Structures are given as C-alpha cells and as structure tokens.
Structure 1
Amino acid sequence: MKPWAVNDSAARPKSQITGEQASNARLAATSGERHTRGMDRDSINALCAGLPGADVSEPFGPGHDIWKVGGKIFAALGAEGRGVSVKCADVPTAEMLRETGRFEKAPYFHRSWVLVPFDAVDAEEAAHRVRTSYGIIRASLPKKVQAGLDPA
C-alpha cells in the first residue's frame, strides 16, 4: 500500500498528483459501502452508444459487448455481467482505484485497466470511468482518425 491514503491527496506529494488522479481521488473517496443505484449493462451500453464514433461488437462470443472507437477498445462488458472493464490513464491510477476496494483488476487486460463492478459504484462514477476511458483511447488514435470522428 502507498504511504498516503487514496482519498487524502493533501498527504500525497504534489509532484505525484495528476489532474485525473485528483479527480479519481474525489470520486473514489467514499465510505466504501456498496451502492445500490449503480449502472447496469443496458445503461452502460446506452452511454457508450452515445459517444461519437463508438461501435459495439462481440469478437469474444455472444454476450461479450466490446466497445471501440477508431478500432481500439475503450469498454468491455463480459458475458457474466459483473461490470464494465475500462482503461485508466496509467498503471498507478489503476492501482489507486483498486486500492479503494471497489475496483478490481480487469480480467484479460493490461494492468492499466480496471473492472468497475455494477454493485460497487454509483452511476456517476461508473459513467465517469467509461467517459474517461473513451477519452484516453480517442486521444491515442492517429490524428487522421481523430479528425474523422464527430467532436466529443
């Protein structure tokens, strides 16, 4: 565990706090109780469908909704329906989120991805994680591909 608390950015050295990490800390700084008003598969799919250039496919079989922008995955919903896997800005951000106990390592993905369980976070935080993942992936696309997408 890090020498500073996840939700105590004041104790964390300023040189180690990024803008996204500060935002993540504010969203993740809840009591750790399970939320009952989180998102579900249908609401995540509706959110993803509304993002410019987002396409869904099932390359891993029926029930696996894989959302891509510019051909790159930004959100994945497994057939078991436990939650949505999303990309974080970097490995330290993903680790920080996992340390809250409300996020998990995303199965089959790199360490910079987290699984957002439907029953662990509220709808606002789940939507924030999906939009952040979309933004990270979209920004990583070649400029030519980005230019062909509608504004975010």
Structure 2
Amino acid sequence: MVETIKLGGMVLEFLHSKEDTAGSLDMFKMTVLPNARMPVPHYHESWEETVYGLSGTLTFQVGDEDIAVGPGQSVFIQRGVVHGFRNDTQEPATCLSVLTPGVLGPGYFREVAALISAGAPPDPAKIKDIMLRYGLVPVAPGASTKG
C-alpha cells in the first residue's frame, strides 16, 4: 500500500520500504514544489541513494558538484557523501528515489513532517536529533563534502 507523506514543499509517496522488502531497499516517488530547497546538506551512514528523474528538473548538490536531474536522468549518491537538492524552477519536479539497503523506511519522514506541521517554526536541534536517530548526518553548508 502506498503511503503519502507531505513534508513542507515536498510530497513523498512510499512505494516500498524496508518492511516489505526484507531490508533490501526503500523506494519512494518524491515531488518537490517550485523554488523549494530541501533538505539540509547531509550524508547517509548506512545506505546509497539512486535518484531517477520523472518530470521537471531537480538540482542535486553532491559533494562539490551541482547535478541537474531531469526526466530520464539519474544520479547515484554514495554513502558518506554530503548532498542536498533543490528545485530552482517554476514547475514541480518529480523523481524516483531508491535507497539501498532499505534501512530508513518512512518513519523518518513521518517524524519530520509531524514536527513541521506543529505550527511553530521547527526547532533545528529537534530536526538534527531526528536525522541522527535515522542515520542521516546533517552538515553545515560549506563544510566538508565527505562525511
């Protein structure tokens, strides 16, 4: 069953998670609204991420490189490499993300979405705590590009 999670300027549709793939992968469709910049630069401790563009164009900052991912294009992000993404266009952009192995699941996104939807601006320390509990390590903008 597909689970939809709204997270600020982003909508995720979880297609598969670690629970239904015996930990093999997490797979979700992600739509990013125009001019959205998400998330904070970070790296993953325990998984790789492959992103395949479906519509629109997202710009991924992977290490020191900006990579535009449009329909039919992809980017592979190794564990330990600092990255983030943004939609600099005036159109929504949609991609398919696959995390291998499947160790994240939708729980991280649910927790961050609940914090964001609470009304007040989210506490950066709480977001950092959630990220670290799920194996995402936030990095200050402009810091080292390797985790």
TM-score > 0.5 by shorter chain: no
Structure showing the higher helix proportion among its residues:
1
TM-score, L = length of structure 2: 0.27
Structure showing the higher strand proportion among its residues:
2
TM-score, L = length of structure 1: 0.26
Greater relative contact order (CA < 8 Å, ≥ 6 in sequence): 2
